[in-house]
Each structure stands twice: as C-alpha cells, then as structure tokens.
Structure 1
Amino acid sequence: MLTEPLPYALETLRFPFPALAALAGRLPLGGGREVALASLLVARLAQGVAGGDTLPAAERASRAAGAKVWLASLALPATTRVPFARCVESTTGTPLQVAGALRSLVAAAGAHLDGPSVQELERLARQLAGS
C-alpha cells in the first residue's frame, strides 16, 4: 500500500462546509432549507475574507451585491433576515467584522440549523477572529 502520494497526483480537495450542504440537501422545501442555503452562501462569502485566501476588495463587493439580491428572493424567517443581510455586508470589511456578524447570525439562526452546521459557522468565526 502506498503511503505517500504519487508525484503526478492531484491534492485531494476538501469542501469546507459539508454539514451545511448536507443539511440543505436533506431538509424539505421551505423556511428551514432556505435558512440552511443562506447560511451556506454566507459561509462561502466569509471564507473569501479568511486568512491567506483573501479575495480583492472589488471582488468581495461584487459577490456581496449579488448575494443581497439572492437573499431578498428567499422566504427567510423575519428574525434571521437582518442578521443575514449584515453578515453579507460585513464581507466587504475586515475579518473581525465578519466574525462578529457570523456570531450574531449563529445566535439568530441557530434554532434552524443542526449542531454540526452551527459548529462549522463557529469554527469559521474563530478563524476569522484569529486572522
């Protein structure tokens, strides 16, 4: 059995939010699924601010503008609509601002998400706060 990768083999890609994607796939159509999809979108946007993977400011602003339009089309619960919007807007700022917005989003939407999904968002918030 080989223990080291072959020199021509590609590095295995790892999707950073498997619990959020799995939750969105398994929930029935409606509010819960839309909260999970919106959380996945916000997590992907926030990841563009984290660590060495930082996207240019113009790209982050463009992504945030598109995400706002998409979020407006969702039937999100009233208590989560503002935290999602703030989180999307924060992705044009500093990692610390995004971490704070993610934490308030988890507090507002945590009841609609399962444990592993909440842990993924909290891990991302800790990563952003440490940046």
Structure 2
Amino acid sequence: MLTESLPFALETLRFPFPALAALAGRLPLGGGREVALASLLAARLALSVSTGEPLPPADRASRAAAAKVWLASLALPATTRVPFARCVESTTGTPLQVAGALRSLVAAAGAHLDGPSVQELEKLARQLAGT
C-alpha cells in the first residue's frame, strides 16, 4: 500500500459544507429547503472572504449583487430575508463584518437548520473572526 502521494497526483477535494448540502438535499421543496440553499450560498460567499487569497473586491461585489437577485426569487420566511441580504452584502467588506452578519443569520435561520448545519456556519463565523 502506498502511503506517500504520487508526484503528479491531485489533492483530494474536500467540500467545506457537507451538512448544509445534505440538509438541502433531503428537505422537501418549500421554505425549509430554500433556507438551507440560501444558507449554503451565504456560506460559500463568506468562505471566499476568508481563504488565503480572497477574491478581488470587484469580483466579490459582482457575486454579491448576483446572489441578492437570486435570493429575491426564493420563498424565504420573512424573518430571514433581511439577515440573508445583509450577510450577502457583507461579503464585500472585511472578514470581521462577514462574521457578524453570519452570526445574525444563524440566529434568524437557526430554527430552519439542523445541528450540524448550524455548527458549520458557526465554525465559519469563528474562522472569519479569527477566534
């Protein structure tokens, strides 16, 4: 058995939010699934701020604008619309701003998410806040 990686082998890809994706996949169509999908979108945008080489500000602004249009088409509960919009808008700012918006998103949408999904979002918020 080989324990070392081969010189030209690709690294194994790891999806950063498996619990959110699994939750969105198993929920029936409607509000709960759309909250899970919107949470996944917000988490992916937030992750682009925290990576070692973040996207340029112009690209982040473009992605945030497109995400806001997509969020407007979803049937989200009224109590979650503003936190989702703020979280997406915050991805054009600093990681600390995104962490705060992500925490308020978890507080608003947490009732629609399962435990592992909430943990993934909270872990990302801690990573963004630097704690």
TM-score of the two chains, using structure 2 as the length reference:
0.98
Partner secondary structure for residue 76 of structure 2: coil
Q: Distance in 1 between matches of 2:51 and 2:8?
A: 28
Number of equivalent positions: 131
Q: Distance in 2 between matches of 1:97 and 1:8?
A: 39
Alpha-carbon deviation of 1:6? 1.0
Question: Relative to structure 2, which stretch is displaced further, 46-55 or 83-92?
Answer: 46-55
Where does residue 115 of structure 2 map in the other structure? Answer: 115
Where does residue 22 of structure 1 map in the other structure? Answer: 22
Q: Distance in 2 between matches of 1:2 and 1:53?
A: 32
Partner secondary structure for residue 49 of structure 2: coil
Runs of 4+ in 1 over 6 A off after TM superposition: none
Where does residue 97 of structure 1 map in the other structure? Answer: 97
Alpha-carbon deviation of 1:15? 0.5
Where does residue 64 of structure 2 map in the other structure? Answer: 64
Alpha-carbon deviation of 1:53? 3.2
| 1:82 alignment partner AA | V
Alpha-carbon deviation of 1:106? 0.3
Q: Distance in 2 between matches of 1:80 and 1:63?
A: 20
Instruction: Structure 2: state its 5+ residue gaps.
Output: none
Where does residue 83 of structure 1 map in the other structure? Answer: 83
Question: Relative to structure 2, which stretch is displaced further, 51-60 or 103-112?
Answer: 51-60
Alpha-carbon deviation of 1:23? 0.4
Q: Distance in 2 between matches of 1:124 and 1:36?
A: 16
Alpha-carbon deviation of 1:51? 3.7
CA RMSD in angstroms, aligned pairs only? 0.9
> Contact conserved, 1:80 with 1:105, CA < 8 A, in 2?
yes
Question: Relative to structure 2, which stretch is displaced further, 117-126 or 48-57?
Answer: 48-57
> Contact conserved, 1:43 with 1:121, CA < 8 A, in 2?
yes
TM-score of the two chains, using structure 1 as the length reference:
0.98
> Contact conserved, 1:35 with 1:76, CA < 8 A, in 2?
yes
Partner secondary structure for residue 49 of structure 1: helix
Where does residue 73 of structure 2 map in the other structure? Answer: 73
